[in-house]
Chain A
């Protein structure tokens, strides 16, 4: 068997995944707290106020990382779902469905912070602008996946149905994005770009990037914590779960 598939099947065994992720989770939470603490301190206190927007611009330190995460998590959720569908790997299915609430929360945070920022800056809480609208549609896609999962009683079928829906949404997402873009645009263009050089002073940019990395650690930590609980809840009659619960976690 080739090493990649071997790795996938080994980490795909619930007992191994549970032990392995148990080692990882504290480090991920610690990294998140450190990075977010520094990034928020810099962003909210150290960085000077914007000369045009005043202090209200500081909301980007939450808003922009959330908006980035909302798309990234959808992509990860759909890919994990496809992996679960194709190779019947249960851990991938569980990671996929456990991503949905986190992604929906990030999407909601991006929408709420965006509208709070829009009130002083654009003069309105909500406009039917392209990015706002596609973010709202993204939230509906997340809620659809979660709703479908919740509506099906049998766990395995629920996982597979939700994963398929996420995959269909993944094909549709770029189409939705561009159709809405064409329909109406008010949101400013991207300020941060990887290649072309960002239109933002480094003292403002670095805390933003740190916050973006912190958001990824938050996702990883939250996802693994959720997936571990989910696995235990589903497998609590199996032997490995009893061992893990009764004896405490033995280090491998």
Chain B
């Protein structure tokens, strides 16, 4: 056992994961391209009427973000599982919750933040009123980390399985219903001219809850999957 403190282990793992992500740019880009394609399908399928698109914009953007993050979550532990790194992390003697949190943070930085950066473009495509954009950004800032935190538990449970990707969506989407409701609710309220603080506050509460509990669930799931 090395003498590294949990903090050093956290930083080292975070740096490694970010470095891997930068070197494998495809893995970051594919979910984002998927996001753009999915969102662009909606005007094509529903017709380009600006009022209709403005109404459904929050829901469409959020659902597309949900689908895109499932794509990238499927890969969160897979390559580490296949080359044996995951086992080494578990037996390293460092608290697994801390290591898992580092992987989650790296995933959010490479999969969640780009969605937030792209969302102004999506909002323009879907004719979302400009004054609702700050709320959309806030809802994504609070909500996408929850997608990563809760989704990571599902990814950890399905890591060794062949059809893991489809199963991951079935396991995780029902758990994310509250996030979808509060996030789109906040944006829709602002579009209708009402305050958004209640919904965003609840979203923040969900984020706190997920941040405190999900690392433990994820660590336990990894131990079951790797054993």
Q: Are B220 and A175 in contact (CB under 8 A)?
A: no
Asked whether any CB of chain B lies closer than 8 Å to the CB of A7, the reply is: no
B200-227 interface code vs A (CB 8 A; 1 in, 0 out): 0010001001000100010011001101
* Smallest CB separation, B111 vs chain A (Å): 21
Residue of A151, A152, A176 ringed by the most chain B CB atoms within 10 A: A151
Q: Are A161 and B225 in contact (CB under 8 A)?
A: yes
Q: Are A171 and B213 in contact (CB under 8 A)?
A: yes
Once A157-B225, A161-B221, A179-B181 are accepted as A-B contacts, the answer to whether A148 and B167 lie under 8 Å apart by CB is yes
In chain B, what residue has the closest Cβ to A144?
B171
Once A137-B177, A164-B217 are accepted as A-B contacts, the answer to whether A148 and B171 lie under 8 Å apart by CB is yes
Across the interface, which residues of B come within 8 angstroms of A167, CB to CB?
217
Asked whether any CB of chain B lies closer than 8 Å to the CB of A47, the reply is: no
B162-188 interface code vs A (CB 8 A; 1 in, 0 out): 011001001101110110011001000
Q: Are B220 and A164 in contact (CB under 8 A)?
A: yes
Interface stretch among B45-53, B70-78, B153-161?
B153-161
Name A154-172 residues within 8 Å CB distance of B: 157, 160-161, 164-165, 167-169, 171-172
Asked whether any CB of chain B lies closer than 8 Å to the CB of A231, the reply is: no
Give Cα A180 to B177, complex, Å. Answer: 8
Across the interface, which residues of B come within 8 angstroms of A152, CB to CB?
160-161
Once A143-B170, A151-B167, A152-B161 are accepted as A-B contacts, the answer to whether A175 and B206 lie under 8 Å apart by CB is yes
Across the interface, which residues of B come within 8 angstroms of A137, CB to CB?
174, 177
If over half of B's interface residues share one DSSP class (helix, strand or loop), that class is named, otherwise mixed; here it is: helix
Q: Are B178 and A168 in contact (CB under 8 A)?
A: no
Q: Are B178 and A157 in contact (CB under 8 A)?
A: no
Q: Are A148 and B217 in contact (CB under 8 A)?
A: no
Which single member of A160, A168, A176, A179 contacts B217 (CB below 8 Å)? A168
* Smallest CB separation, B146 vs chain A (Å): 11
Residue of B161, B163, B175 ringed by the most chain A CB atoms within 10 A: B175
Give Cα A176 to B175, complex, Å. Answer: 8
Give Cα A147 to B170, complex, Å. Answer: 8
In chain B, what residue has the closest Cβ to A159?
B224
* Number of A positions contacting B (CB below 8 A): 26
Across the interface, which residues of A come within 8 angstroms of B227, CB to CB?
157
Q: Are B185 and A148 in contact (CB under 8 A)?
A: no
Q: Are B181 and A180 in contact (CB under 8 A)?
A: yes
Once A147-B167, A151-B163, A164-B221 are accepted as A-B contacts, the answer to whether A176 and B177 lie under 8 Å apart by CB is yes
Across the interface, which residues of B come within 8 angstroms of A180, CB to CB?
177-178, 181
Q: Are B153 and A168 in contact (CB under 8 A)?
A: yes
Name A169-185 residues within 8 Å CB distance of B: 169, 171-172, 175-176, 179-180, 182-183
Once A161-B225, A164-B220 are accepted as A-B contacts, the answer to whether A172 and B161 lie under 8 Å apart by CB is no
Residue of A169, A171, A172, A182 ringed by the most chain B CB atoms within 10 A: A172
Across the interface, which residues of B come within 8 angstroms of A179, CB to CB?
177-178, 181-182, 202
Asked whether any CB of chain B lies closer than 8 Å to the CB of A141, the reply is: yes
Q: Are A164 and B157 in contact (CB under 8 A)?
A: yes
Asked whether any CB of chain B lies closer than 8 Å to the CB of A140, the reply is: yes
Q: Are A176 and B174 in contact (CB under 8 A)?
A: yes
Q: Are A140 and B173 in contact (CB under 8 A)?
A: yes
Q: Are A141 and B157 in contact (CB under 8 A)?
A: no
Across the interface, which residues of B come within 8 angstroms of A172, CB to CB?
175, 178
* Smallest CB separation, B119 vs chain A (Å): 22
Once A151-B161, A152-B161 are accepted as A-B contacts, the answer to whether A140 and B225 lie under 8 Å apart by CB is no
Across the interface, which residues of B come within 8 angstroms of A182, CB to CB?
181
Across the interface, which residues of B come within 8 angstroms of A176, CB to CB?
174-175, 177-178
Across the interface, which residues of B come within 8 angstroms of A151, CB to CB?
158, 161, 163-164, 167
14 cross-chain CB contacts under 8 A: A144-B170, A161-B157, A161-B224, A164-B157, A164-B221, A168-B153, A169-B175, A176-B174, A176-B177, A179-B177, A179-B178, A179-B202, A180-B177, A183-B185
Known A171-B213, A175-B178, A179-B178; 18 more pairs at CB < 8 Å: A140-B170, A140-B173, A141-B174, A144-B170, A144-B174, A147-B167, A147-B170, A148-B171, A151-B161, A151-B164, A160-B224, A161-B224, A164-B157, A167-B217, A168-B153, A168-B175, A169-B174, A175-B209
Please list the 3 inter-chain residue pairs (A to B) with the smallest Cβ-Cβ separation, ordered nearest first. A179-B178, A140-B174, A144-B171
